[in-house]
Amino acid sequence: MPHFALFYDTVDDFADRRQPYRQAHLALVDAAHRDGRLLLAGALKPADGALLVFRAKDISEVEAFVKSDPYVTAGLVTGWRVREWAVVIGEGAVPR
- Ordered by where they begin, the domains of the chain are 3-85 (3.30.70.1060)
For residue 88, what are the contacts with CB-CB under 8 A and spacing of at least 6? 94, 96
Kindly report, residue by residue over 58-71, the tens digit of the pLDDT.
999 999 999 999 99
Q: How confident is the model at residue 25 (pLDDT cuts 50, 70, 90)?
A: very high
The pLDDT assigned to 82 comes to 98
pTM of the model: 0.93
Residue 71 CB-half CA count within 13 A? 27
Phi and psi dihedrals of 34, rounded to 5? Answer: -60, -40
What is the C-alpha separation between 85 and 77, in angstroms, rounded? 22
The DSSP secondary structure of 53-79, one letter per residue, reads EEE-SSHHHHHHHHHH-HHHHTT-EEE
